[in-house]
Chains A and B, each alone.
Chain A
Amino acid sequence: AQSVTQLDSQVPVFEEAPVELRCNYSSSVSVYLFWYVQYPNQGLQLLLKYLSGSTLVKGINGFEAEFNKSQTSFHLRKPSVHISDTAEYFCAVSDQWETGNQFYFGTGTSLTVIP
């Protein structure tokens, strides 16, 4: 089965500094990739997705992510964070070769933006 690893469980960063949240997955064969954001006491909201095409994907709120097939990574970046970016971020993978569920989440990264 596919596995998704978010290497950092907590990331503190100062306001207006850049941030990178890392995500690696286990199988490089034919996947779709997603990043979700969860603000406190809310549900999950899609930030961006990679289905095909350009490996650099832009999402909402100034976030972007780069698909690297050789390194099986999909890291999320933002050049300048705001206080409002404080949230939990989840990486997810949809795998064509799995039957049944096909959808796998990482354990999440808690981003805290410090004023």
Chain B
Amino acid sequence: NAGVTQTPKFQVLKTGQSMTLQCAQDMNHEYMSWYRQDPGMGLRLIHYSVGAGITDQGEVPNGYNVSRSTTEDFPLRLLSAAPSQTSVYFCASSERTGTGRRSEQFFGPGTRLTVL
């Protein structure tokens, strides 16, 4: 049981390049989320998914796309990288409990992205 995995761990891009951050979970969780973490700003939600085929925007979605074709995978795409997207990116997953609330989120190890 690997939990939540993210690749790559580190990435350097030039302004204007595109790339995909990969996220996968093997716990059959319905919910998956992408966060970015910047110094002094905590965790900010980029996009999330409540199940395969269903995604929605979070707090800071501009410049990012997501898709959820399977329960396991939730890739995050940077369409045209900008220096403002330099950050640490975390993927997380959780299950829906019988009460309708989300259980605790399980986090991946993160991807440290630098955009030059």
The interface of chain A, by Cβ under 8 A from chain B, is 9, 30-32, 34, 36, 42-46, 49, 51, 90, 92, 94-96, 100-103, 105-108
The residue on B at minimum CB distance from A106 is B42
B53 within 8 A of A: no
Total cross-chain contacts (CB, 8 A) = 62
B99 within 8 A of A: yes
Answer whether A103 and B110 are a contact pair too, CB < 8 Å, given A32-B103, A94-B103: no
**CA–CA, A45 and B56, complex, Å:** 25
Residue total for B at the interface (Cβ-Cβ under 8 A): 27
Q: Taking the nearest CB of chain B, how far is it from the CB of A78, in angstroms?
A: 20
Q: Taking the nearest CB of chain A, how far is it from the CB of B55, in angstroms?
A: 10
Residues of B within 8 A of A36 (CB): 107
Which of B14-22, B43-51, B70-78, B79-87 lies at the interface with chain A?
A: B43-51
Q: Cβ of A105 and Cβ of B43 under 8 Å apart?
A: yes
Q: Taking the nearest CB of chain B, how far is it from the CB of A4, in angstroms?
A: 10
**CA–CA, A95 and B100, complex, Å:** 9
Answer whether A103 and B50 are a contact pair too, CB < 8 Å, given A43-B109, A94-B103, A96-B100: no
